[in-house]
Chains A and B, each alone.
Chain A
């Protein structure tokens, strides 16, 4: 099993550009989440999904969209990048719920100029 994979590992964008961060898992987990990590801020939840076709907002959803068309994939879309979205993004998945152990991907480091 590859676990949770994220692409790209690094990305630099200009303000106003859009892009999609990819996340995939091969563990047949129903639950998937996106977090961002900023210095001194810990891990903050952006969006999450409890199954294919079902998504919901987390603590900091503004400026991001998600969709879950398959169990395996959970892409995160930045519609119009802003410098405030410079961060490290982690995707996570779990097998039995949101409130239990999450398996994290290696992260995507995004810089918005």
Chain B
């Protein structure tokens, strides 16, 4: 059973507009969430994280929102740039030193 779900395999957005990537989780013990970005032929790189004590974390053009009651988080990219085109993975943990659980990823294409 998938504990972290990214239900949109792909997303296409115009340059300058907002990209919204969604992630749902089922394990209520998860309390720390991360987003990774992956370019082709490279390893994933950490983008942004959020702890369950917050409902929003912002870093430049990237903002992650957490809705604990809905077990849902989203990554907003504003404004979207062509260099943002990549696969984005959502990951979650219970902070108990158990490994991260990753979603299947969403491929974002930003069209110039």
Chain A interface (Cβ < 8 Å from any Cβ of B):
4, 33, 35, 40-45, 48, 50, 58, 90, 92, 97-107
Contact = CB atoms under 8 A, between A and B. Distances in A.
B25 interface: no
B9 interface: yes
A43 B34 contact: no
Given A4-B43, A107-B42, A99 B94 contact: yes
Interface stretch (B14-22, B57-65, B75-83, B95-103): B95-103
A45 B91 CA distance: 12
B45 interface: yes
15 contacts: A4-B43, A42-B89, A42-B104, A43-B89, A43-B91, A92-B43, A97-B97, A99-B97, A99-B98, A99-B99, A104-B36, A104-B44, A105-B43, A106-B43, A107-B43
Contacts of B36: 104
Mostly, the B contact residues are: loop
Nearest 4 interchain pairs by C-beta: A104-B43, A99-B93, A42-B104, A43-B102
Interface in B1-30: 6, 9
Contact of B97 (A35, A98, A101, A102): A98
B41 interface: yes
Highest count of chain A CB atoms <10 Å: which of B45, B93, B97, B98: B97
B49 interface: yes
A102 B105 contact: no
Given A43-B44, A104-B36, 14 more contacts: A35-B102, A42-B105, A48-B99, A97-B97, A98-B93, A98-B97, A98-B100, A99-B32, A99-B93, A99-B94, A99-B98, A101-B34, A101-B46, A105-B43
A29 B28 CA distance: 29
B103 A42 contact: yes
Given A99-B94, A106-B42, A107-B41, A42 B32 contact: no
Contacts of A98: 93, 97-100
A45 B44 contact: no
A54 B8 CA distance: 37
